[in-house]
Amino acid sequence: MFKDTLLEGKRILVTGGGSGLGKEMASEYAKLGAEVYICGRRKSVLDDTVKEITDAGGKAKAHACDIRVSEAINDMIDEIWADGGALTGLVNNAAGNFISPTKDLTPKGFEAISNIVFRGSFYITHACGTRWIKEDIKGSVISILTTWIWNGGPFTVPSAMSKAGVNIMTKSLAAEWGKYGIRLNAIAPGPFPTKGAWERLSPGQDADDSATSSGNPMGRNGEMQELRNLATFLMADGCDYLTGQTIAIDGAIHLASGGNFYQSLDRLSDDDWDGIRDMIRSSNDADKAKRSV
Ligand code: HXC
């Protein structure tokens, strides 16, 4: 769809770029000529992705960083700037989420998600934006949201609240920073199954039968190349007047049936939830064992 050299000269950081949607976008940006940085909490996962990208002829570097910690973000951004100059783009992709009845959440459970999505996305956008303003660089930010920002996310309330906040950050800063040439846009993907998300959103289910794909007007989940194309279009030069927008890419499921988990999860019993919680916790534990920060 795009010229192979479309993103040459761009330097883009993708948070959570070691796996899932972040890896897809980072790999695509590198394929189109960008120098890519990825960050996350699991250094070995990041290193594997960097190897895949560089083996394919791209340029990528990894930083272990927990975006919940603003000082760690500032150190990482300083290192990236010192490594080869300013970033030109940021993708707020890192997220945390798990399905749970809200009555069973603890404050710590709420914070585990909101500190990554709500606070972390702000910290890193602020860290890049303040440097861009100071250095007169027309940076571009893309945030990965969900369609729940429009109609709510029952059983994923901390994520829905946090992503709705990032949606408003996108609109607010598009206006406030437009005079500096800085653009902020967002993508609200529907069902693009990835291991990390589906272990926590549809544990024990095949992605093709998951709650989000059934009833989709297009009768299928999203294909990664479709998401990669949108993320490339928004990051590339040529649509500099496009800012403050959140674009859904979901086969129209949120228009047809809400696109959230209400119908499939509202009928579950407490016993069902006990089993789901156990499955999610074992995925969390397996990921945690690989964390380096
Ligand atoms: C209830 C749970 C729980 C569960 C964890 N907790 N899992 N509560 N039900 N299933 C609670 C814990 O009991 C604890 O509270 C608190 O959450 C923190 O747990 P930790 O494991 O210590 O947290 P932490 O190590 O910080 O891990 C963060 C995490 C984890 C969010 C819980 O899932 C994570 O790191 N995820 C990253 C990857 C990810 O989630 N990807 C999916 C993104 S999908 P107490 O009080 O008990 O100590 C997405 C939207 C997709 O964002 C949209 C698609 C349509």
The mean of the pLDDT values for the chain is 96
What is the SS3 assignment for 144? strand
User: Ligand 1 centroid vs 71 CA: distance in angstroms?
Assistant: 22
Q: Is the CB of 280 under 6 A from ligand 1?
A: yes
Share of the chain above pLDDT 70, in %: 97
The average pLDDT across 236-242 equals 96
Q: Give yes or no for a contact between 148 and 127, defined as CB atoms under 8 angstroms apart.
A: no
Check residue 213 and give its pLDDT.
60
pTM for the model stands at 0.96
Q: Looking at residues 262-288, what average pLDDT do you find?
A: 95
What percent of the chain lies above the pLDDT cut of 90?
94
> Is the domain defined by 11-291 classed in CATH 3.40.50.720?
yes
On the question of pLDDT at 214 being above 90, the answer is no
C-alpha distance from residue 161 to each of 118, 155, 271 (Å): 8, 11, 27
The answer to whether residue 187 scores a pLDDT higher than 80 is yes
Instruction: Say if residue 212's pLDDT is above 70.
Output: no
Q: Does 15 score more than 90 pLDDT?
A: yes
The 3-state DSSP class for residue 191 equals coil
Alpha carbon nearest to ligand 1 atom 49, residue: 97
**Helix, coil or strand: residue 94:** coil
Q: Is 128 left (phi over 0), alpha (psi -120 to 50) or beta?
A: alpha
Radius of gyration of the chain (CA): 18
Hey, which of 119, 213, 284 would you mutate to test ligand 1's pocket, going by the most ligand atoms within 8 Å of its Cβ? Answer: 284
Q: What torsion do the CA atoms of 151, 148, 191, 172 make, to the nearest 10 degrees? A: 120
Is the confidence at residue 208, as pLDDT, over 70? no
Whether 65 contacts 76, CB under 8 Å: yes
Q: Of 21-25, 44-48, 210-214, 235-239, where does mean pLDDT reach its minimum?
A: 210-214
Contacts of 265 (CB under 8 A, 6+ apart): 99, 154, 155, 211
pLDDT in tens, 125-165: 999 999 999 999 999 999 999 999 999 999 999 999 999 99
Q: Is the pLDDT assigned to residue 211 strictly greater than 60?
A: no
Sequence-distant (≥ 6) Cβ neighbours of residue 110 within 8 angstroms: 158
For residue 139, give the DSSP letter.
Answer: -
**CA distance linking residue 142 with residue 285, whole number of Å:** 29
Write the CA distances from 283 to 43, 163, 195, 198, 274, integer angstroms.
Answer: 18, 22, 10, 10, 15
Q: What torsion, rounded to 10 degrees, do the Cα atoms 67, 248, 21, 1 define? A: -130
Compute CA 87 distance to the chain's CA centroid, rounded to the nearest angstrom: 18
Give mean pLDDT, residues 113-129: 98
Determine which of 20-34, 115-129, 199-213 has the lowest per-residue pLDDT on average.
199-213
Residue 266 burial (CB count, 10 A):
10
Q: Which residue type, as a one-letter code, is found at position 255? A: L
Find out whether the beta carbon of 148 lies less than 6 Å from any atom of ligand 1: no
Residue 177 has pLDDT above 70, yes or no: yes
| CA 200 – CA 131 distance, rounded (Å) | 35
Nearest ligand 1 atom, CA 281: 7
pLDDT at 216 over 70: yes
> Quick one: pLDDT band at residue 112, thresholds 50, 70, 90?
very high
pLDDT classification of 205: cutoffs 50, 70, 90: confident
Kindly indicate the confidence band of residue 206, based on its pLDDT and cuts at 50, 70 and 90: confident
Answer yes or no: is the C-beta of 101 below 6 A from any ligand 1 atom.
Answer: no
Q: What is the pLDDT of residue 167?
A: 98
Cα–ligand 1 centroid distance for 279 (angstroms): 12
